[in-house]
Amino acid sequence: MEVCVKDSLKIVEIWLTNTEQSDAALRKSLQPLYEEYKPKKYKVAVFKSGSGNLLDKTTGLLLHNRK
């Protein structure tokens, strides 16, 4: 897990691997982090690692957005 706080944007990014995102205890342990940043009016974003090929998925997304 990687936590990146961007104070200038008031964003907290939490990056989870495939293993971490399926760990219920780890997900529950994030609650204090949400509670810490809520009064500061920060957005907390959780990013989950995918299982597809990054190049194929990005190419598909870019082609779709061109339509």
pLDDT of 57 higher than 90: no
Please give the pLDDT value at position 18. Answer: 87
- What pLDDT does residue 29 have? 94
How many domains are contained in the chain?
A: 1
Confidence of residue 64 (pLDDT cuts 50, 70, 90): very high
Domain encompassing residue 12: 2-66
CA neighbours closer than 13 Å in the CB half-sphere of residue 3 = 10
Edge-to-edge strands of the sheet including 43-48? 2-6, 11-16, 43-48
* Model confidence pLDDT, tens digit, residues 24-48: 999 999 999 999 999 999 999 999 8
For residue 67, pLDDT over 90 is answered with no
- How large is the average pLDDT for residues 2-15? 96
